[in-house]
Amino acid sequence: MTATETLEAPAPVVIEHPHHRKLVIMAWSGDLDKIWPVLILSSTAAASGVRCRVFVTFWGLLPFVKDEKGIVGENWMQKMLTLMQRPGIDHLKLSKMNFLGMGPWMMGTLRKQYNVASPRELLEAATALGVEFIPCQMTMDMFGLKREDLIDEMGEPAGAATAIEIMTEADASLFI
Amino acid sequence: MTATETLEAPAPVVIEHPHHRKLVIMAWSGDLDKIWPVLILSSTAAASGVRCRVFVTFWGLLPFVKDEKGIVGENWMQKMLTLMQRPGIDHLKLSKMNFLGMGPWMMGTLRKQYNVASPRELLEAATALGVEFIPCQMTMDMFGLKREDLIDEMGEPAGAATAIEIMTEADASLFI
Amino acid sequence: MTATETLEAPAPVVIEHPHHRKLVIMAWSGDLDKIWPVLILSSTAAASGVRCRVFVTFWGLLPFVKDEKGIVGENWMQKMLTLMQRPGIDHLKLSKMNFLGMGPWMMGTLRKQYNVASPRELLEAATALGVEFIPCQMTMDMFGLKREDLIDEMGEPAGAATAIEIMTEADASLFI
C-alpha cells in the first residue's frame, strides 16, 4: 500500500448478513420536500445498521447531477428539461408554496434554526454511512445524462428488473 | 371447443406458487409521470415471474377509462371532474411542466427516440403478462364510473379491505 | 376505581400478537386527496385486525393540529407557513383542481351522496379502532408545533429511527 492510496477514503463496505434488515427507497421526486425524507430515512437507516438502497429515477435523478454542470442533456429538449428543473442538490424547489423562492428560503432558515441538516450535508452523511444510490438507466437515456454527469458517489446504473428484485427481498420499500 | 373459441386469446393464468414473490402497487395518481413507473414496474415484475397486483384508486382510475368514452359520470359534478382530467391512457398530463402540452410532447418525443414504450403499449404488455388491475369500488362510486366504462382487462372492483389483505401478504407494496 | 374514571373512554388496547399483521403508513402529504387514503387504509386495517401505525410528518402533520388553533408556530415564518396551508382536518385542499374551493366542495358533495365518510369522521373512527398516530419530532420543531397544538389522540413524538424500526418489522409500509 502506498502513501497515496492511504489518503483516499475507503469505499463503504456493505457486508450482507442474514440478519441485516433491508430498506429500499424508490426516489422518484426531485422536490426539496421529498428529497429530504429520502435522505433522512436512508441515512438514519444506514446509521441504525439497516442496509439501504435508493433507486433514483425520473425527476429524482436531477438532484444527483454534479453541481458544476448547469445545463445537461444531449439535445435541445433534454437541455430544456434541465433548464426547467435546475439539476444539483443545492437549488431544490418545494412541491408547492415556492412563491418565487420564498418557500425554500423559509424552509432553509427554519432548518438551520433547528439544526436540521441540509440536503447536501445529508447526502454526504448518507454516502459516508454506506447508503447505495442506484441511478435508473432508462431515466439517464431519456434525459441524456451520462455517468460522468452524476455525482461520483452513485453506483452503477440499473433497470426496473433490479428495482423489483431488491424491493421484493427487502423488509420495507417506499416510493417517494 | 369450437373454432370461434380458439380465436380468443386465453386469459393469463396466474398460478399461485409458494415461492412466487409478490408485488402490490396502489396506483393513486393519474399523471403521466406516475403512470409510467406503475406500468414499467408492474410489467417488469410480471416478466420476472413476480405476481403483481395493481389496486387502482382515485385519480389513478381515470387513465383506465375506455378511450372512446370522452366524458363519463352520472351527474354534472362527475362529468365536470372528467372534463378537468381527461380520462383514457393516451392523453395523460405530467404532474408539472405541462406548459400547454409542451412537456408531455417533449416526453413523448424523447421516449420514442430512446425506444421507451408508451403508456398504451406498456398497459397492453402488462395485461398480456398477467398483471392484475383491481379498480377501487369507492372511487367508481364517487366518480360515477360503471364497470363498462373501464377497459375490459380490469378485474372485479374491490374495496380497502382487499387492498390491506393483498399488501400485507405481499413481499413489497408501493403507493404511487 | 372511582365513578369519574369510569366516565372516560378507555384507551384502545393494542395487544401485540405474533400472528398479527402490521401496516405502517408514512403520512407526508397534507392534501385532502392524500389524507383520504391514509385514513381509509388505516381505519380499514385496524377494523380487519391489522395493527396500523401512522408516522405523521412534514405537510402531513398540519391536518392533525387542533381546529380551534387557527395560526400556529412560534416565529413569523412558522406562522406564515400555517397561513399558507391552513391547519386542521376540516379545511383540506386537493393536490390539484382546487379552482378557488370548487374542487374540494364537489368532492365533499359527491362524498356525502355516496356515503363516504369525511376526513373528520374517518379520523375519529381510526383513533377509536386503535390506529396509532405518531407525530414526527423534527417536523414539530421546524413548524414550531407543541404537543398541545396537536389533537389529543396522537401518540408521543418520535424520530426517523423509530420510523425505520416500525417499517422494517411491518408486513407492508406505504409513503403517502
C116 to B141: CB separation less than 8 angstroms, yes or no: yes
Q: Using one digit for the tens of pLDDT, what is the confidence trace for C131-164?
A: 999 999 999 998 899 999 999 999 999 999 999 9
Strand-by-strand arrangement of the A22-27 sheet:
A132-135, A51-56, A22-27, A172-175
- Residue of A53, A43, A20 whose CA lies nearest to C160: A43
Lowest mean pLDDT among A118-127, B91-100, B135-144, C109-118: B91-100
B45 to A164: CB separation less than 8 angstroms, yes or no: yes
What's the confidence (pLDDT) of residue A109? 82
Contacts by A96-99, CB closer than 8 A, 24 or more apart = A97/C81, A97/C84, A97/C85
Q: Which of B98, B167, B176 to mutate to test the interface with C (most CBs of C within 10 A)?
A: B167
B to C CB pairs, distance under 8 Å:
68
Strands C22-27 and B172-175: unpaired
Alpha-carbon distance C60 to nearest alpha carbon in chain A (angstroms): 12
Alpha-carbon distance C13 to nearest alpha carbon in chain A (angstroms): 26
Count other C-beta atoms under 10 Å from residue C96's C-beta: 16
| pLDDT category of residue C4 using cuts at 50, 70 and 90 | very low
In the three-class reduction of DSSP (H, G, I as helix; E, B as strand; rest coil), residue B14 is classed as coil
Q: Are C46 and C130 in contact (CB under 8 A)?
A: yes
- What's the rounded Cα separation, in Å, for the pair A65 and A55? 15
Query: Is the model more confident about C36 or about A72?
Result: C36
| pLDDT category of residue C103 using cuts at 50, 70 and 90 | confident
CA atoms lying within 13 Å on the CB side of residue B47: 14
The number of angstroms, rounded, from the C-alpha of A102 to the middle of its chain's C-alpha atoms is: 24
Query: Is the model more confident about C134 or about B83?
Result: C134
Strand-by-strand arrangement of the B132-135 sheet:
B132-135, B51-56, B22-27, B172-175
What's the confidence (pLDDT) of residue A4? 45
Q: What are the residues whose beta carbons fall under 8 Å from the beta carbon of B91, sequence distance 6 or more?
A: none
Alpha-carbon distance B12 to nearest alpha carbon in chain C (angstroms): 27
What's the confidence (pLDDT) of residue C3? 46
Return mean pLDDT, chain A: 85
Alpha-carbon distance B114 to nearest alpha carbon in chain A (angstroms): 6
Residue B143 has pLDDT above 60, yes or no: yes
- Residue of A110, A166, B83, A74 whose CA lies nearest to C73: A110
Interface predicted TM-score (ipTM) = 0.85
Segment of B1-15, B69-83, B134-148, C69-83 carrying the highest mean pLDDT? B134-148
Any idea which residue has 387513465 for its cell? B63
The number of angstroms, rounded, from the C-alpha of C1 to the middle of its chain's C-alpha atoms is: 32
B170 to C172: CB separation less than 8 angstroms, yes or no: yes
Q: What are the residues whose beta carbons fall under 8 Å from the beta carbon of C54, sequence distance 6 or more?
A: C24, C25, C26, C27, C38, C42, C131, C132, C133, C134
For residue B105, give the C-alpha cell. Answer: 410532447
Q: Using one digit for the tens of pLDDT, what is the confidence trace for A105-164?
A: 777 888 888 778 889 999 999 999 999 999 999 999 988 999 999 999 999 999 999 999
Cβ-Cβ contacts under 8 Å, B47 against chain A: 161
In chain A, pLDDT over 90 holds for what percent of residues?
Answer: 57
Burial of A80 (0-12, 13-18, 19+ CB in 10 A): middle
Q: What are the residues whose beta carbons fall under 8 Å from the beta carbon of B21, sequence distance 6 or more?
A: A168, A169, B49, B50, B51, B171
- What's the rounded Cα separation, in Å, for the pair A165 and B63? 27
What's the confidence (pLDDT) of residue B69? 72
- Residue of B100, B104, B84 whose CA lies nearest to B36: B104
What's the confidence (pLDDT) of residue B24? 98
Q: Which of B32, B171, B175, B176 to mutate to test the interface with A (most CBs of A within 10 A)?
A: B171
Sign of CA dihedral A11, A15, A19, A23: positive
For residue C14, give the C-alpha cell. Answer: 393494542
Secondary structure of chain A as H, E, C letters: CCHHHHHCCCCCCCCCCCCCCEEEEEECCCCHHHHHHHHHHHHHHHHCCCEEEEEECHHHHHHHECHHHCCCCCCHHHHHHHHHCCCCCCCCCCCCCCHHHHHHHHHHHHHHHCCCCCHHHHHHHHHHCCCEEEEEHHHHHHHCCCHHHECCCCCCCECHHHHHHHHHCCCEEEEC
Residue C171 has pLDDT above 60, yes or no: yes
Nearest CA in chain C to A21: C168
CA distances to A44, B2, B62, C172 from A88, in Å: 22, 62, 34, 32
Strands B132-135 and C132-135: unpaired
